[in-house]
Amino acid sequence: VAVEEPETVVVMEAPVGTYIATCQNITFEGTTLTADCANADTGDLVSSTLDVAVCQAVENLNGVLTCVE
Protein backbone atom coordinates (compact mmCIF):
# COMPACT_ATOMS: atom_id res chain seq x y z
CA VAL A 1 0.00 0.00 0.00
CA ALA A 2 1.45 3.34 -1.12
CA VAL A 3 1.37 6.19 1.36
CA GLU A 4 0.85 9.62 -0.15
CA GLU A 5 2.71 12.54 1.33
CA PRO A 6 0.42 15.38 2.44
CA GLU A 7 0.54 18.51 0.31
CA THR A 8 2.30 21.44 1.98
CA VAL A 9 0.09 24.50 2.24
CA VAL A 10 1.54 27.88 3.13
CA VAL A 11 -0.94 30.22 4.76
CA MET A 12 -0.03 33.88 4.76
CA GLU A 13 -1.57 36.30 7.20
CA ALA A 14 -2.71 39.75 6.17
CA PRO A 15 0.24 42.13 6.40
CA VAL A 16 0.66 44.52 9.28
CA GLY A 17 0.44 48.25 8.75
CA THR A 18 -1.31 51.50 9.45
CA TYR A 19 -3.95 50.79 6.78
CA ILE A 20 -5.91 48.82 9.39
CA ALA A 21 -6.92 52.06 11.14
CA THR A 22 -8.23 53.82 8.00
CA CYS A 23 -9.53 50.97 5.83
CA GLN A 24 -12.58 48.73 6.11
CA ASN A 25 -14.02 45.66 4.36
CA ILE A 26 -10.48 44.24 4.37
CA THR A 27 -10.05 40.91 2.61
CA PHE A 28 -6.91 38.90 2.02
CA GLU A 29 -6.66 36.00 -0.44
CA GLY A 30 -3.38 34.49 -1.58
CA THR A 31 -1.11 37.54 -1.78
CA THR A 32 -3.88 39.98 -2.75
CA LEU A 33 -5.09 42.51 -0.19
CA THR A 34 -8.30 44.39 -0.96
CA ALA A 35 -9.92 47.11 1.14
CA ASP A 36 -12.02 50.26 1.06
CA CYS A 37 -9.69 52.98 2.32
CA ALA A 38 -10.34 56.56 3.37
CA ASN A 39 -8.87 59.36 1.30
CA ALA A 40 -7.35 61.78 3.84
CA ASP A 41 -8.19 64.83 1.71
CA THR A 42 -11.85 64.08 0.97
CA GLY A 43 -12.83 61.44 3.53
CA ASP A 44 -14.26 59.34 0.70
CA LEU A 45 -13.73 55.57 0.74
CA VAL A 46 -11.76 54.28 -2.22
CA SER A 47 -11.60 50.61 -3.21
CA SER A 48 -7.97 49.51 -3.47
CA THR A 49 -6.16 46.25 -4.26
CA LEU A 50 -2.49 45.42 -3.72
CA ASP A 51 -0.28 42.36 -4.30
CA VAL A 52 1.55 42.17 -0.99
CA ALA A 53 4.00 39.37 -1.86
CA VAL A 54 7.05 41.61 -1.22
CA CYS A 55 5.61 44.03 1.35
CA GLN A 56 7.00 44.28 4.86
CA ALA A 57 3.99 46.41 5.82
CA VAL A 58 1.13 48.27 4.14
CA GLU A 59 -0.13 51.82 4.51
CA ASN A 60 -3.11 53.77 3.20
CA LEU A 61 -1.86 56.67 1.06
CA ASN A 62 -4.96 58.81 0.38
CA GLY A 63 -7.17 55.81 -0.37
CA VAL A 64 -4.53 53.69 -2.09
CA LEU A 65 -3.01 50.63 -0.42
CA THR A 66 0.76 51.10 -0.66
CA CYS A 67 3.58 48.67 0.04
CA VAL A 68 6.20 49.62 2.61
CA GLU A 69 9.35 47.59 2.00
At 64 the pLDDT is: 97
Residues sharing a CB contact under 8 Å with residue 67, sequence separation 6 or more, in sequence order: 50, 52, 54, 55, 58
Q: What is the pTM of this model?
A: 0.78
Distance of alpha carbon 47 from alpha carbon 4, whole angstroms: 43
Q: What is the pLDDT along the chain (69 residues), one digit of tens a residue?
A: 666 766 654 556 788 999 999 999 999 999 999 999 999 999 999 999 999 998 989 999 999 999 987
Backbone angles phi, psi at 24, to 5 degrees: -140, 175
